[in-house]
Amino acid sequence: MSQTTEKVRKTLARRYRAEKRFKAFGLGAIGIGLMALVLLFTDIIGKGHSAFVEYEIQLPVTFDAEVMDVSDPRDEEQLNYGNYQGVIRDALADRFPGVESRLDTRALNQLVSTGAGYALRDMLREDPSLLGETRTLWLLADDDVDLFLKANEKQREDSRLNEKQQAWVAELEASGETRMVFNQSLFSYGDSREPEQAGILGAILGSLFTMIVTLVLSFPIGVAAAVYLEEFAPKNRFTDFIEVNINNLAAVPSIIFGLLGLAVIIGLFGLPRSVPLVGGIVLTLMTLPTIIISSRAAIKAVPPSIRQAAMGLGASKMQVVLHHVLPLALPGMLTGAIIGMAQALGETAPLLMIGMVAFIVDLPAGPLDAATVLPVQIYLWADSPEQSFESLASAAIMVLLAFLITMNTLAVILRKRLERRW
């Protein structure tokens, strides 16, 4: 056996230990990354799943004309100013006859959401003959009651309900006068100060309008810019400057785009604050680099032979591009656009700058109505003190992630489907 072999043998044990250690580090690193992912998702699902359901309380409600101060349910004005809380209060008093003191009465009245009155109004509008009748109804519970009912034994000790309220709710629960239903208000209302009445529809609409504006602006501009840079731009300083700008804009912090929107689009051009139109413009400027870069890659992937073939038939440069290159590059461009949109959909910081962070109850009807977007709604709710808002925020995150996953899956499918192998 040679001297070398002997020496090498001596080192082997040590070197293989190092090899194992190194490999373990790598595996550990991936483990950390994946664990973070799993933790993130379980945490959010764990917090948010309960927000998709809500509790209702069963009460026999009498539509008493006098208490409501509604004599003619067909009169819209009377209907709107009716005292529906009054009949609910009466119904609660009937259900728990022993409650006397003012403090207790108030505590009792807090069990039902203030939003339940609107439900009564809507029922009365639908069916005016209800006036004077008594119906057993399921009414939306207050968020503290909701939390109490969703909580387990141990968590119930920390409930914000006082002892009497807890006893009442427990009584209702035991006698089957509470039920859990799908949280419809989550998908049918805008923001609210009351967690049980707050929904994400307003934010979803706001996001939708913002995304429409972004897509309408960024896709044509991005594709046109990419076509120019790949096909027409002469190789000169100006073109280089454009490229440097695009590359750098791709890495500029998003909040800076918010400052741009605030100072230029709102300050200089005088567009209104808090509207999806401005949000869309800001996000357009932010996603343009992404779209331009991916569109250029798609154009580059079209083989030169196709260009030469068309050119050889006497097509002009513009005809070659419009008739051949663009249609072939379109799938790649669309993929890039979807990814850019997904990025824009999750963006929050620049929209805070342009005032899309306001508390807005009404559902926006167009890109010029004040609105908020899904990520900003999450931010607002995460900052709210009530615990119910925390699970609402988690639920909103789940919805946002569902949108993002759908979009990214779509991009992947599109790429697979339309991918051409040259």
Partner 1 sequence: METAQQLDKPALGTNDAARDKAINEQAAMTQDTPYPDQTVGTPFVDDPKMRLRDVEVFYDDNQAIHGVSLDIGKNEVVSLIGPSGCGKSTFLRCLNRMNDTIDICKVKGSLHLESQDLYDPKLDVVELRARVGMVFQKPNPFPKSIYDNVAYGPRIHGLANKKYDLDEIVETSLRKAGLWEEVKDRLHAPGTGLSGGQQQRLCIARTIAVSPEVVLMDEPCSALDPIATAKIEELISELSESYTIAIVTHSMQQAARVSHRTAYFHLGRLVEMNDTETVFTKPEHDLTEAYITGRFG
Partner 2 sequence: MQTGNLLLLLVVMVAGAYYLGLRRSFALARPLGGIRHLHSLPFYFAMRSAMWCALPALVVLGLWLAFDDSIIRQQVLASLPAELQPTDASSYNLTLSKIQNVASGALPVNFVEPPIAAAAEHLQSLRQTSAMALTVVVIVLCMFGGAWAWLKVSPQLRARQQVERVLQTLFMLCATVAILTTVGIVMSVLFESIRFFGKVPVTDFLFGLQWSPQTALRADQVASGGAFGAVPLFMGTMLISAIALLVAVPVGLMSAIYLAEYASKRVRTVAKPALEVLAGVPTVVYGFFAALTVAPFIRGMGESVGLDVASESALAAGLVMGIMIIPFVSSLADDVITAVPQAMRDGSLGLGATKSETIKKVIFPAALPGIMGGILLAASRAIGETMIVVMAAGLAANLTANPLEAVTTITVQIVTLLTGDQEFDSAKTLAAFALGLMLFITTLVMNIFALHIVKKYREQYD
Site for partner 1 in 10-29 (CB under 8 A): 10-12, 15
337 and 219 in contact (C-beta within 8 Å)?
yes
CA separation for the pair 207, 377 (Å, rounded): 10
Query: How many binding residues for partner 1 (CB under 8 A)?
Result: 11
Contact partner, 346, from partner 1, partner 2, none, Cβ < 5-8 Å per class? partner 2
Q: Which is nearer to partner 2, 137 or 407 (CB)?
A: 407
- Asked if 313 is part of the footprint of partner 1 (rule: CB under 8 A), the reply reads no
Tell me phi and psi for residue 186, to 5 degrees.
-60, -35
Smallest separation, CB 220 to partner 2 (Å) = 8
CA separation for the pair 52, 49 (Å, rounded): 6
Those residues whose C-beta lies under 8 Å from the C-beta of residue 135, and which sit 6 or more positions away, are 60, 61, 63
Smallest separation, CB 11 to partner 1 (Å) = 4
Smallest separation, CB 280 to partner 2 (Å) = 15
Contact partner, 394, from partner 1, partner 2, none, Cβ < 5-8 Å per class? partner 2
- DSSP for 145-185, please give it: HHHHHHS-HHHHTT-SS-HHHHHHHHHHHHTT-EEEEE-HH
Q: Which is nearer to partner 1, 8 or 29 (CB)?
A: 8
Contact partner, 9, from partner 2, partner 1, none, Cβ < 5-8 Å per class? partner 1
Contact partner, 139, from partner 2, partner 1, none, Cβ < 5-8 Å per class? none
Smallest separation, CB 22 to partner 1 (Å) = 14
Contact partner, 2, from partner 2, partner 1, none, Cβ < 5-8 Å per class? partner 1
Q: Give bridge partners of residue 138 from the DSSP assignment.
A: 58
Those residues whose C-beta lies under 8 Å from the C-beta of residue 407, and which sit 6 or more positions away, are 338, 339, 341, 342, 345
- DSSP for 178-215, please give it: EEEEE-HHHHH----SSGGG--SHHHHHHHHHHHHHHH
Smallest separation, CB 81 to partner 2 (Å) = 24
Smallest separation, CB 218 to partner 2 (Å) = 10
- Asked if 402 is part of the footprint of partner 1 (rule: CB under 8 A), the reply reads no
Q: Which amino acid is at 315?
A: A
Q: Which residue has the tokens 């870069």?
A: 293
Where does this chain bind partner 1 (CB under 8 A)? 2-5, 7-12, 15
